[in-house]
């Protein structure tokens, strides 16, 4: 197994919908890997690398009064523990955006 390398072809999700989908894919995969005890292969590492966190999504994703992302919100609640969900919800208030160029430079160190 080799370590994941971020190339110029790698793209981060840009829209809120893309961010939610990327996060959900990564969380689904993490849960699967935890269940099976397997290690992520290159394609799976790329899915994990697209996880962008919940910063900036507090009003759109975690607001239970909003029907936007309701299906994803319900799926997330079913995938994670109450404590994990609460931590993700809280992080949406304090997480900040990092420009992909900065992330690429950080990844290039490895």
Q: pLDDT tier at 2 (50, 70, 90 boundaries)?
A: low
pLDDT score, position 19: 94
Q: Give the Cα-Cα-Cα angle 34, 46, 28 (nearest 5 degrees).
A: 35
Whole-angstrom distance, CA of residue 88 vs CA of residue 63: 13
pTM exceeding the 0.85 threshold for the entire prediction: no
Q: What is the rounded distance in angstroms from the CA atom of residue 41 to the CA atom of residue 27?
A: 15
CA distance 95 to 87: 11
Question: Which tens digit of pLDDT belongs to each residue from 25-46?
Answer: 999 999 999 999 999 998 899 9
For the segment 49-75, the average pLDDT, to the nearest whole number, is 92
Query: What confidence tens digit (pLDDT) does each residue in 81-102 have?
Result: 999 999 999 988 887 767 777 8
pLDDT of 48 over the 80 cut: yes
pLDDT at 68: 95
What pLDDT is recorded for position 5?
Answer: 72
Spatial separation of the C-alpha atoms in residues 56 and 34, rounded to whole Å = 28
Candidates 88, 83, 82; CA nearest to 62 is: 88
């Amino acid at each position: 197994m080799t370590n994941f390398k971020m190339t110029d072809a790698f793209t981060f999700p840009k829209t809120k919908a893309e961010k939610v989908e990327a996060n959900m894919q990564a969380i689904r995969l993490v849960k699967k890997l935890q269940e099976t005890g397997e290690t992520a292969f290159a394609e799976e590492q790329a899915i994990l690398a697209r996880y962008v966190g919940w910063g900036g999504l507090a009003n759109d994703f975690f607001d239970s009064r909003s029907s936007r992302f309701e299906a994803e919100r319900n799926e997330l609640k079913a995938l994670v523990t109450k404590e994990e969900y609460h931590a993700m919800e809280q992080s949406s208030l304090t997480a900040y955006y990092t420009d992909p160029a900065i992330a690429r430079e950080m990844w290039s160190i490895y």
